[in-house]
Amino acid sequence: MSVPVNIQNISKSYEKVEALKAVSLNIKAGELFGFIGPDGAGKTSLFRILTGLILPDSGTASVAEMDVLKDFKKVRNITGYMPGRFSLYYDLTVAENLNFYASIFKTSLKENYDLIKDIYVQIEPFSNRKAGDLSGGMKQKLALSCALIHRPKLLILDEPTTGVDAVSRKEFWELLDKMQQGGITILVSTPYMDEASLCNRVALMQSGNVLSVDTPSNITARYKGQLFAVKTNKMHNLVTALEQVPAATQVYRFGDEVHVTSFHENDTVFVGLLSDALKEKGHLDIQINKKQAVIEDCFLALMDKNQAI
Amino acid sequence: MYAFIKKEFFHIFRDYRSMLILFGMPVVQVLLFGFAITTDINDAKIAILDQSKDPITREITQKMLSSKYFILEQNLQSNNQIEAAFQSGNIKEVVVFEHGFAEKLQRDGKVDVQLILDASEPNTANMLSAYSSGIINTYSLQQMMAANKIPVSIQTESMMLYNPELKSVYMFVPGVITILLMLVSAMMTSISITREKEMGTMEALLVSPLKPLQIIIGKVTPYVLLSFINLIVILLLARFVFGMPTQGSMTLLLLESILFIIMSLALGILISTVSKTQQQAMLLSMFALMLPTILLSGFIFPIENMPIILQWISHVMPSKWFIIIIKNIMLKGVGIAYFWKETLIILFTTLFFIAMSVKKFKVRLE
């Protein structure tokens, strides 16, 4: 039922920018696969190539063994695509939007109601409201319903959670989980690192390169060095203070803490070095704790390496 | 397909701006061109310097004032008041009768009336002078007939065919129909297609199994209908507000119009394929279609008077040929035999634009 996606050496440049640099990926049938990376990483370009909206400069890609260049019409028939901007008609109501998308795929809302039921029940009370008047989370659910209306075997979601509140984001991922169980291959891109752990596998992308492809737990397990979280009473110059400690690497603000990575063989000695240096600068209430690296730490570490090359 | 057309109608009816352009503009334009921008002159203010004050001068004055063209603003007493009368502003013409007008006429059988005109508006001055001469000549002719004298001078008698009263509405209506059909069809379709691009919904349409031709037909069908309604509104206004009849076959007129509408729509699609935003589409339609249509189609300025180069350019304006066609049908009442060439030209342009736009309409982004 579900389909694999195969990407081979895809490159794409716009005038001066190289959006994709020989990207190769294999996505298994039925996988919930995440593309994680900041704006300009090349996620949207890759999705547009897969849906046949733009042509790659070189390389090939296939969906269910069908070439996305030659058989783009067949590929489009089994693909549900939700572009970065919710592609809804803001002057049409919720129901009108759904019916329209159903009819251009030669199907109807009734026929596939069971498929989108879980999502649609949440927006059904507003079915007579214009799409433009919906909240971000509601728009996103409507757009997802529209992308799902023709029972696609592959669902491509371009930053579906950007600009959506935390609660809606959580609900949205629960929906994706459910659909995956229904046997749909899902490709989803997101700039939010915390969403990476919800995918089966993720590709970390930066400026057209794939930095790493693996399960979220493998990626974090491969983190080199020991991560520490530091907190003091003078957070504003903490980063500068820590950067002056020779043993401390990869110092950056992370939420209300500062993350520091140590390659020192002895953690206690390292903590001692840090707290001495901080006390010298007049920091008080110093808390230094060992931390398990999360995807964002891995991403930032990989990014440093990528830029160094 | 049906759903697509229905959706397009929702867009139009829910956007008050496009409704205004669609239905407000035709009415306003026809009324504007019909009433305000008219070259007919009514109620021009004149002054009379009657130095003779005899029955004949009084009779001529009476004749002039009883026509609908003139209103007596001032009676002047002497020659030196003339300059001041014009300078005061609103007087367009001064009629001067010399001393002993009637006596001179009796004695010599010939007398002069002087017409002095404000030529700061040359067209108005020309027309007023023609109206006045006309009235005075008619009077003198009647007098001579009454006196059983055969007039010695040879009079030209012009007969104005197809528009006997030289109403400017007759000239404007075909032009307005052309402009509006072109504008509504081309501008509205190009805007509505580029809007989908701007909103990102085009991306979703393109990944759907819809063929480009289906998207195009879905987009233009509502505008064909609306333009057709517009055409009817303009024709009704022309008929009942300005009393302009359609001499020829109404069916033929409507068929030719539909052909022209389809051509404009194809042009609109072509515009939308080259523009990225709604504004760009609107400006392109305005400058590429509106201005040439108004200036070069022979709507306002006669093509025969243009420099050769502009005349050549006017030949490639489909609107020029369409204006010729509607004038033929509406005013002359002739059939297709008289303008099959023009019809063929429009037909070929239509096919050309359709082919171009289907070819240029991209199945992909960029």
Q: How confident is the model at residue B328 (pLDDT cuts 50, 70, 90)?
A: confident
B192 and B72 fall within a common domain: no
The answer to the question of residue B31 being in a domain is yes
B-chain residues near A87 (CB < 8 A): 199-201, 203-204
Tokens of B171: 């000239």
B-chain residues near A88 (CB < 8 A): 201
d(CA B75, CA B61): 11
Answer yes or no: do A100 and B206 touch at CB < 8 A: no
Chain A residue with the nearest C-alpha to that of B15: A91
Q: How confident is the model at residue A307 (pLDDT cuts 50, 70, 90)?
A: low
Answer yes or no: do B210 and A104 touch at CB < 8 A: yes
HEC string for B28-53: HHHHHHHHHCCCCCCCEEEEEEECCC
B57 and B203 fall within a common domain: no
Q: Flag the least confident range among A170-179, A200-209, B82-91, B163-172.
A: B163-172
Answer yes or no: do A101 and B7 touch at CB < 8 A: no
Answer yes or no: do B203 and A73 touch at CB < 8 A: no
**In total, how many domains does chain B have?**
2
- Range A30-49+78-220 has CATH code 3.40.50.700: no
Mean pLDDT value across residues B129-140? 82
A-chain residues near B10 (CB < 8 A): 89, 91-92, 96
CB nearest to B204's CB, from A54, A77, A87: A87
List the domain boundaries for chain A. Answer: 30-49+78-220, 224-292
B355 and B339 fall within a common domain: yes
B165-208 residue pLDDT tens: 666 667 777 888 888 888 878 888 888 888 888 888 888 888 88
Of B146, B175, B204, which residue constitutes the final position of a domain? B146
Q: Give the mean pLDDT of chain B.
A: 81
CB nearest to B208's CB, from A76, A85, A96: A76
- Does the beta carbon of A108 lie under 8 angstroms from any beta carbon of chain B? no
Helices (H), chain A: 43-50, 72-78, 94-104, 113-123, 136-148, 166-181, 216-221, 238-243, 267-280, 295-308
The answer to the question of residue B284 being in a domain is yes
Report the top-level CATH class of A224-292: alpha beta
B204 and B295 fall within a common domain: yes
Task: CATH number of the domain at B61, please.
Answer: 3.40.1710.10
d(CA A107, CA A104): 8
B127 and B251 fall within a common domain: no
pLDDT at residue B154 above 60?
Answer: no
Judged by phi (left if over 0) then psi (alpha if -120 to 50, else beta), residue A278 lies in alpha
pLDDT at residue A274 above 70?
Answer: yes
* Model pLDDT, residue B52: 82
d(CA B193, CA B202): 8
The answer to the question of residue B158 being in a domain is no
pLDDT at residue A309 above 60?
Answer: no
* Model pLDDT, residue B40: 63
By CB atoms closer than 10 A (0-12, 13-18, 19+), residue B260 is buried
The answer to the question of residue B160 being in a domain is no
- Does the beta carbon of B16 lie under 8 angstroms from any beta carbon of chain A? no
B-chain residues near A51 (CB < 8 A): 207
B5-16 residue pLDDT tens: 888 888 888 887
- Does the beta carbon of B11 lie under 8 angstroms from any beta carbon of chain A? yes
d(CA A127, CA A143): 13
* Residue, of A217 and A309, whose pLDDT is higher: A217
The amino acid at residue A290 is: K
Mean pLDDT value across residues A217-225? 83
B320 and B337 fall within a common domain: yes
pLDDT at residue B136 above 80?
Answer: yes
* Model pLDDT, residue B35: 72
- Does the beta carbon of B27 lie under 8 angstroms from any beta carbon of chain A? no
B214 and B236 fall within a common domain: yes
Mean pLDDT value across residues A14-26? 87
What is each CA distance from B236 to B31, B177, B185, B230, B240, in whole angstroms?
12, 12, 20, 10, 6
Answer yes or no: do A76 and B209 touch at CB < 8 A: yes
Q: How confident is the model at residue A70 (pLDDT cuts 50, 70, 90)?
A: confident
- Does the beta carbon of A53 lie under 8 angstroms from any beta carbon of chain B? yes
Helix, strand, coil percentages for chain A (3-state, nearest 5): 40, 30, 35
d(CA A199, CA A177): 9
A90-141 residue pLDDT tens: 888 998 998 898 888 888 888 888 878 888 888 888 888 988 888 888 888 8
DSSP assignment of B270-309: HHHHH-SSHHHHHHHHIIIIIHHHHHHSSSSS-GGGS-HH
* Model pLDDT, residue B302: 75
d(CA B365, CA A55): 9
d(CA A45, CA B364): 13
B340 and B322 fall within a common domain: yes
What is each CA distance from B251 to B11, B238, B350, in whole angstroms?
31, 17, 20
* Model pLDDT, residue B347: 92
* Model pLDDT, residue B151: 55
B278 and B199 fall within a common domain: yes
Q: How confident is the model at residue B348 (pLDDT cuts 50, 70, 90)?
A: very high
- Does the beta carbon of A13 lie under 8 angstroms from any beta carbon of chain B? no
- Does the beta carbon of B213 lie under 8 angstroms from any beta carbon of chain A? no
CB nearest to B10's CB, from A48, A92, A106: A92
Helices (H) and strands (E) counted in chain A, each on its own, are 10, 14
Three-state DSSP state, A189: strand
Percent of chain B with pLDDT strictly greater than 70: 91
Domain that includes residue B331, residue range: 2-37+167-360
Ramachandran angles phi, psi of A261, nearest 5°: -110, 140
DSSP assignment of A101-121: HHHHTT--TTTTHHHHHHHHH
Q: Flag the least confident range among A13-17, A166-170, B235-239, B292-296.
A: B292-296
Three-state DSSP state, A37: coil
d(CA A2, CA A31): 9
Contact B96, B86 (CB under 8 A): no
Answer yes or no: do A104 and B10 touch at CB < 8 A: no
